Structure 1
Amino acid sequence: MNAIRLQIPAHADYIDLVRICLYGIASKMSYAYEDIEDMKVAVSEACNNAVIHGTPDPNEGVIDISFEPEDHALTIKVNNSGSEALATDVLDKAAPLPDADVSGLRVGGLGIYLMQALMDEVEVNALENGTEVVLKKYLNVASEH
């Protein structure tokens, strides 16, 4: 596997670089435009979470992103080096959205829902020194050019 790795400062100003890199890789793999846009939103949410919940000192923190192309899928891993997140709690609380009443949702708590809605697989893993979000999107053979 030929992983493409990117490391950015843990600051929102650099998330566009991740999106641009993702666009290039996914385009080269022949993903449909709509799938690429979905992946860009999902990776932006993962990076935003890494910025918000990552290291307490924004001048010191970094976000490590790896893009791992496979024959029929792209896996994107977003790692922050902050305090451990309660990964199982995040996914346990990410039950399906209620159809009618969204008043109980906390502000900023929709990122995991978006990632799950837009990607084929989503994992949130607690690491010794932070959190890893793993996003996977399968390549729809019908979308190949």
Structure 2
Amino acid sequence: MNNHPIVMTIPAIADNLSIIRSVLYALAVKAGFSYEEIEDMKVAVTEACSNVIQHAYGDQEGFIRISFQWKDVDLYITIKDDGAGVREEGESTIRQGLHAIPLVEASIGGLGIYMMHALMDKVEVKRLNGTEVVLIKRLGRIEEIV
């Protein structure tokens, strides 16, 4: 796979989630990810994009910028918004993936981040002029796909 990113800017509305999942599916199949890995990525990406749709812009219109980029055998999926978002009281715990506390003690709003951590190999959340979520999935088998 080449390392040139594929970048989309799309209105932050629920109707566009299927477009994002379709692009992810096409790229992941071509790269050689298994069906289970692709489904995991689709759930994680849908959750990250749903967070943008629900929380980033309030009642205003906004956009999701999503990029797919290869770095060695890792697929980096970056979901970015420019919205104000919502700041949770336990935000630092949520960003760590809730690994330090039992799941039953997690706040409802933090479960999406927990799922992303469970389904992806690595998750990074950055908050500066909006929110950026980077989801990283390592390709399990390395074969040349024709």
Smaller-chain TM-score range? 0.7 to 0.9
Which residue does the alignment assign to 1:95?
99
Gaps of 5+ in 1: none
User: Are the structure 2 counterparts of residues 106 and 51 from structure 1 closer, same or farther at C-alpha, using a change threshold of 3 Å?
Assistant: same
Structure 2 counterpart of 1:134, one-letter code: V
User: Are the structure 2 counterparts of residues 73 and 93 from structure 1 closer, same or farther at C-alpha, using a change threshold of 3 Å?
Assistant: closer
Q: Return the alpha-carbon distance in structure 2 between the equivalents of residues 26 and 134 of structure 1.
A: 16
Q: TM-score, normalised by structure 1?
A: 0.85
Q: Return the alpha-carbon distance in structure 2 between the equivalents of residues 42 and 143 of structure 1.
A: 25
Question: Deviation per CA, 1:52-88, whole angstroms, max 9, x where unpaired?
Answer: 1211234x20010000123411000000110166564
Which residue does the alignment assign to 2:40?
38
Length, aligned pairs only? 140
Which portions of structure 1, spanning 4 or more consecutive aligned residues, are displaced by more than 6 angstroms? Answer: 142-145
How many Å apart are 1:143 and its aligned residue?
A: 8.1
CA RMSD of aligned residues (A): 2.3
Q: Return the alpha-carbon distance in structure 2 between the equivalents of residues 38 and 93 of structure 1.
A: 16
Q: Return the alpha-carbon distance in structure 2 between the equivalents of residues 39 and 132 of structure 1.
A: 17
Q: Return the alpha-carbon distance in structure 1 between the equivalents of residues 100 and 17 of structure 2.
A: 27
Q: Return the alpha-carbon distance in structure 1 between the equivalents of residues 79 and 73 of structure 2.
A: 20
Identity %: 46
How many Å apart are 1:142 and its aligned residue?
A: 6.5
Structure 2 counterpart of 1:130, one-letter code: G
Structure 2 counterpart of 1:116, one-letter code: H
Q: What secondary structure sits across from 2:108 in the alignment?
A: coil
Q: TM-score, normalised by structure 2?
A: 0.84
Q: Return the alpha-carbon distance in structure 2 between the equivalents of residues 143 and 117 of structure 1.
A: 25
Higher mean Cα deviation, 75-84 or 112-121? Answer: 75-84
User: Are the structure 2 counterparts of residues 142 and 68 from structure 1 closer, same or farther at C-alpha, using a change threshold of 3 Å?
Assistant: closer
